Each structure stands twice: as C-alpha cells, then as structure tokens.
C-alpha cells in the first residue's frame, strides 16, 4: 500500500497498483505502535476515496474557474425587459393556449382550472363552512354581574372604567343628510363673474 501511494504521487498509477499487488502488506504504525484493524480499514477506505477523486479529473484545480462561472452583477430591470422585448429568441412568446371556460365563459389557459370558477367555488365552500359552524359563542360572555364577581373575585370595575366602557364621553357625529340635487344652490353667471 505504501509503495502504491508513493508511485501514484510520481504520476504512475497503473504501475503502482500492479506493484502493490506483488508486495506484501505492511501494517500501519504510529510512533512504532500498531493501530487497530478497524482504524487501518478506515484509513484504507479514505485513501481509496482520494484515489478515485484524483482519477475523476473534477477536482484537479485547472477547471474550477470554468465550472463556477457566475455573473458579477444582477442584470437590472430595464436590461431584462429590453432583452425580453427585443427581437430574437429571448422575446416573450404570445400565449396560444387560451380557451373559453365551458362553465362560465371567461378566458382561461387550456388544461388549467378557470380562476373565476375557482373563486366562486371557494367562496361557496367558505359560506357553507360558516353556516355549518354556526355563530361563534364566546365562553362566559352572558354571565350575571353577581356570578362574574364570584368567578373573577379580583376584578372590580370602578366607576371610571364603567364610564369608559359605556363610551358616553365620545362625541356622537350627526348622520349626514341624503344627497339631493335640488338642495344644491345653482350658480348663475353673476356668481362666476365675482
């Protein structure tokens, strides 16, 4: 094994493999002490993986710049739009797969679901789900004040809090009158001359 590695480093992989088959196996030692067999197997596997990677030619270091080519800057919005709209192969193609929906008559793409029908189905199912669910009941919202005082003993509502809850202090705006064209004062020529 040691002989094959040294010959591979010299650039002779085939000769190194044939000679390593002829030479006896040498146990790997660290500081004169033998390593366990399992570690020896792991080291041999690791060396075998390195040999296969060297033989593939991908990580040789010469072609890394070509493989990892990338643009230096993102193309601007105007640049991409000019590419799309300019004559040539990058031009936006017109859609030729447009048809009318047989159910509603709206325009849709062929082999796609009509978005108008989809919206109607979605809203119908949403309404049906709400109808099945019924009105939402807030738990303990209809308690008597005495029961509320017993269940929540620490919560005493002051007079100020009651006033704030009642919202009597908020000024009420008058409702506007309905619009009527007769109520508008008609302008005469004299009004425009002023």
Task: Kindly report whether the global pTM for this prediction surpasses the value 0.75.
Answer: no
DSSP 58-115: GGGSSSHHHHT---SSPPPHHHHHHHHHSSSTTSPPPP--EEE-TTT--EEETTS--H
CB-count exposure of residue 4 (10 Å: 0-12, 13-18, 19+): buried
Q: Which residues pair with 108 in a beta bridge?
A: 99
Residue 13 pLDDT > 60? no
Arithmetic mean of pLDDT, 181-192: 73
Higher pLDDT, 193 or 44: 44
Arithmetic mean of pLDDT, 105-115: 94
pLDDT tens digits along 64-83: 555 678 889 999 999 988 88
Higher pLDDT, 97 or 166: 97
- 182 DSSP 8-state letter: G
What's the pLDDT band for 170 if we cut at 50, 70, 90?
confident
């Amino acid at each position: 094994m040691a002989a094959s590695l040294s010959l591979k480093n010299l650039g002779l992989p085939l000769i190194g493999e044939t000679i390593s088959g002829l030479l006896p196996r040498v146990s790997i030692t660290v500081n004169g002490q033998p390593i366990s067999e399992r570690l020896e197997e792991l080291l041999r596997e690791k060396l075998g993986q390195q040999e296969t990677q060297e033989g593939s030619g991908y990580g040789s270091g010469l072609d890394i710049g070509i493989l990892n080519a990338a643009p230096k800057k993102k193309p601007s919005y105007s640049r991409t739009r000019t590419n799309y709209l300019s004559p040539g192969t990058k031009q936006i193609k017109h859609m030729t797969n447009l048809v009318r929906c047989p159910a509603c008559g709206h325009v849709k793409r062929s082999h796609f679901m009509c978005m108008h029908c989809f919206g109607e189905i979605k809203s119908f199912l949403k309404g049906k789900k709400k109808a099945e669910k019924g009105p939402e009941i807030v738990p303990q919202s209809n308690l008597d004040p005495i029961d509320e005082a017993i269940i929540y003993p620490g919560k005493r509502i002051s007079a100020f809090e009651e006033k704030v809850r009642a919202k009597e202090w908020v000024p009420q705006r008058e409702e506007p009158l309905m619009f009527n064209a007769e109520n508008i004062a008609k302008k005469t020529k004299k009004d425009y001359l002023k």
